[in-house]
Chains A and B, each alone.
Chain A
């Protein structure tokens, strides 16, 4: 079996009286894209938060790179993109990238090259000098993704990365994610777009704080006897 980059075992998370995660078992191996799907409120963001160490698990274990989270040093090896764009509006695209690059601890000499590379990936090279306040929604999303890609992290955690991005660019981004996977790096991605769920190596279906199913899309479709992940999703939810 391949080495697990993310290893969540019997993970539980309770906020006050509300139990958000009950029993999460999820692994992401090296060189693998794992998709996390589930209705809103199912706890996708909480899984991500615990994996990043922003929240501490109430039960079970959350290991990343074989180290128990939370761990601050480890964060330099993780690229994170949140649901919100989380950009500084009054700064230019370049300044945003530079600032987050510095925060990630990328050395001064490598930074310009790293910025240029990620800007090319998301097709923002010619807009880097503009202030973010003048960006369109799609451009902001792309810049946000570029920030996550900065510094070639071994693990990417992407929360709804392709919302508001047009189809051509979406295809381009998935191609890049494919290249990252082929380079032996890992990606955990949440999505609402069901045809995207077909593109991942393994998909985890999150419902009521539990992983209902976790396997390759082909196997899931076969198990549930349906033609698409969307139908798997609906069937698991109990909607006919």
Chain B
């Protein structure tokens, strides 16, 4: 019962602090709207592509696509220099039948535009080629048929069979040649980053978790710090309340707040930003709730090491910022092994992984046992530390 009373009190305090509420509920939306506007402007991006040794028809096709302009270079070195000087956004080089694409990739939307344009151009040119090839082959077959008829008319001679096989063979050769032309091999390389760099869709699940973590951590830490500095914690502990009731009361109230916040953020991303969520929204909320509780326990724990609100703020660069680096926003594969090791103690990594696979691959929450388990371990350990830690203020 005392736990519920504490929960009610904390919620009452929170809902009367309008500014903090606004920060929790409006700031994430504002930032995400801004980000989506900034990251999703590819419809009006103009790109220029440098080509080396590419056929005339493909160049023409590329140039015909909206927002795409083509510059022809004679050698790869010249094209590369142009890429370096920011004159072109990508280079397409033809090696025999294959294409090699190099992207500056300083702007992921431009890279995407080039990829799309190139794919379209290649498809159109190959369709055109196919058409002409078809025409040619029909002509060839007609010729062959005519020859055959002529041969049959010439008649009789027993060598004919050998001749037809040889012509058939040449026809077959031609056919294989045209199929190999149809599917040229395309290789991509990037001057900066890789194919996963900076997609809003990939950032979103992590951002969502980050907002929940950041605000719950900061506000709950501040709240307990205030209880300590104003003396209400001492007074609370001078009543027969259990230490665990205090911790659980805080957990319940901030859990409720985190649920509301997560639902709000999910709604905005789905309805306003039009991000597709493949998996279940309920699972997303559950994972974020878990993360919020971890953040709460973390905030309460660290608040005992701070003597003022300002000292609490000092935890942001130490505790919050590293979370962003290891959350999966930046691909971990390219990092050194010892740095990867750090990521295992970052709660945001586990929630980011889990929410990512729910949103993008529709993974069921049942298959995320590892990530959920890790979050639960964080939660249980931090909660126990908090309950024991309150012993500092009352010995029973």
Contacts and interface: CB of A to CB of B under 8 A. Distances in A.
B81 to A, nearest CB: 64
Contact of B1 (A74, A95, A102): A102
A45 to B, nearest CB: 10
Contact of A88 (B232, B234, B237): B232
A147 interface: yes
Given A75-B240, A102-B1, A104-B239, A88 B9 contact: yes
B276 interface: no
B17 interface: yes
Given A70-B394, A82-B231, A88-B232, A54 B238 contact: yes
A105 interface: yes
Interface in A190-206: none
Contacts of B242: 72
Nearest to A144: B235
Contacts of A104: 239-240
A76 interface: yes
Contacts of A226: none
A73 B6 CA distance: 18
A104 B13 CA distance: 20
Contacts of A54: 234, 237-238, 393-395
A72 B238 contact: no
A95 B394 contact: no
Contacts of A78: 238
From B2, B13, B393, B396, name the one whose CB has the most chain A CB atoms within 10 angstroms.
B396
A105 B236 CA distance: 12
B240 A52 contact: no
B104 to A, nearest CB: 53
Contacts of B234: 54, 82, 86
B5 to A, nearest CB: 4
B241 to A, nearest CB: 5
A7 to B, nearest CB: 18
Interface string B223-234: 000000011101
A55 B9 contact: no
A88 B5 CA distance: 14
Nearest to B243: A72
Contact of A95 (B6, B12, B231): B12
B1 to A, nearest CB: 7
A44 to B, nearest CB: 15
Given A85-B231, A86-B230, A91-B12, A76 B239 contact: yes
A80 interface: yes
A86 B229 CA distance: 9
B16 interface: yes
B152 to A, nearest CB: 104
B2 A103 contact: yes
B16 A90 contact: yes
A167 to B, nearest CB: 26
Contacts of A217: none
A222 to B, nearest CB: 37
Interface in A73-122: 73-76, 78, 80, 82-88, 90-91, 95, 99-100, 102-105
Contact of A87 (B6, B232, B240, B241): B232
Interface residues of B, number: 25
B241 A53 contact: no
A100 B242 CA distance: 14
A86 B1 CA distance: 22
B12 A52 contact: no
From B5, B9, B13, name the one whose CB has the most chain A CB atoms within 10 angstroms.
B9
A104 B239 CA distance: 5
Contact of B236 (A73, A84, A103): A103
A88 B396 CA distance: 24
A82 B233 CA distance: 11
A56 interface: yes
A71 interface: yes
From A53, A54, A76, name the one whose CB has the most chain B CB atoms within 10 angstroms.
A54
Contact of A91 (B1, B13, B230, B394): B13
Contact of A71 (B230, B236, B396): B396
A72 B240 contact: yes
B2 A80 contact: no
Contacts of B396: 53, 70-72
B394 A53 contact: yes
Given A82-B231, A86-B230, A90-B13, A52 B238 contact: yes
B255 to A, nearest CB: 20
Nearest to B238: A80
Closest 8 CB pairs of A and B: A84-B231, A86-B231, A102-B5, A103-B239, A86-B235, A80-B238, A70-B396, A90-B16
7 contacts: A54-B394, A72-B242, A90-B16, A99-B5, A102-B1, A102-B5, A105-B240
Given A52-B394, A56-B395, A103-B240, 18 more contacts: A53-B396, A54-B394, A75-B239, A76-B240, A78-B238, A80-B235, A80-B238, A82-B231, A82-B238, A87-B232, A91-B9, A91-B13, A95-B12, A100-B239, A102-B5, A103-B2, A103-B5, A105-B240
